[in-house]
Amino acid sequence: MKKSILVVDDFASIRDFVCETLQRKGYETFGAANGNEAFKLLTEKSDSVNLVLTDYNMPDCTGFELLKKIKESPSVSKVPVIFLTTESNPDKMRSAKEAGLAAWIKKPYRSETFFAQIENAISNG
């Protein structure tokens, strides 16, 4: 079955680009412009989303807030979350890891790293 990834980024061109890249690799994708929208979508499709790939810095609901929300809701807490961001602060990374983040991909990324992290997160949770 096709794996689906929820891509969250407030910046449409990046979101579309990431979605297209993933689609070419055979993933199904959903897009959301911020954390709140993403969380809503995720809870609606909790059975079909295999991974959440989100930006860190976003208005309204940041990636970190989204992560916490996901990990605190039993119905979706098992969905792995990956941050895809230019943010590279070690402390933020550590607290995200403690909150249950699966991986942190820094932008710009190399595509092998990107897909390896994604595959790894989907198979290992």
Partner 1 sequence: MDSNQKRFVEDALDLLNELDEGLLQLEANPHASAPLEQVFRTMHTIKGGANMFGFEKIGELAHQLETLYDLVRQGKMQVSDGLISITLHAFDKVRDLFKEKDAAKINNAEALSDHLKSAIEFLKAAESEMVSTGKTSSAASAVNKDELATFFIRVSPTISLTVDGNHPLVFIVLDLEALGTARTFCYKNEKGDVAHWDIFLSTTTSQAEIESYFLFVENECQVNYTKLFACDLFGSDEFKEYLDQFNAVPVDVKALSAFVETLSAKCKETHGSEAEDEVITSSRKKAHHDTYIKVSKRKIDDLLNWISELIILQAQLTNATSGLNSPAINEVTEQLELITNRLRDTSLEIGLVPIETLVTKFKRLVRDLSKTLNKKVNFLSEGAETEMDKDVIELMADPMIHIIRNAIDHGIETPAERKAAGKSEHGTVKLKAFNTSSYVNIIISDDGKGIHQERVLQKAIEKGLVAADASLTEEEVLNLIFHPGLSTASQLSDVSGRGVGMDVVKQKINDLRGHVSIKSTSDKGTSISIKLPLSRSIIEGLLVRVEDTRYVVPLNVIDRIDRIPYTLLNRENQVNKTVVVNEETLSVFSLRQKFHNEAIVPKTADIISVTVHGIRKGIAVDRIEGKMQTVMKPLGEAYHQQDFIAGSTILGDGSLALVLDPSRLFQLSDN
Stretch that binds partner 1, among 22-30, 46-54, 66-74, 114-122 (CB under 8 A): 114-122
Amino acid at 34: N
Choice from 28, 93, 99, 100 touching partner 1 (CB under 8 A):
93
Count other C-beta atoms under 10 Å from residue 35's C-beta.
25
H or E segment to which residue 62 belongs:
none
When the beta carbons of 18 and 49 are compared against partner 1, the nearer one is 18
Taking the C-alpha atoms of residue 96 and residue 91, their distance in angstroms, rounded to an integer, is 8
When the beta carbons of 61 and 76 are compared against partner 1, the nearer one is 61
Amino acid at 115: F
Count other C-beta atoms under 10 Å from residue 88's C-beta.
11
Q: Compute the least distance from the CB of residue 10 to partner 1, in Å.
A: 8
Choice from 43, 46, 48, 120 touching partner 1 (CB under 8 A):
120
Choice from 16, 28, 41, 73 touching partner 1 (CB under 8 A):
16
Measuring CA to CA, how many Å separate 15 from each of 8, 27, 54, 85?
Answer: 7, 14, 9, 12
Q: Which residues bind partner 1 (CB under 8 A)?
A: 10-14, 16-17, 20, 33, 37, 57, 59-60, 62, 85-94, 97, 101-104, 106-108, 110, 112-113, 116-117, 119-120
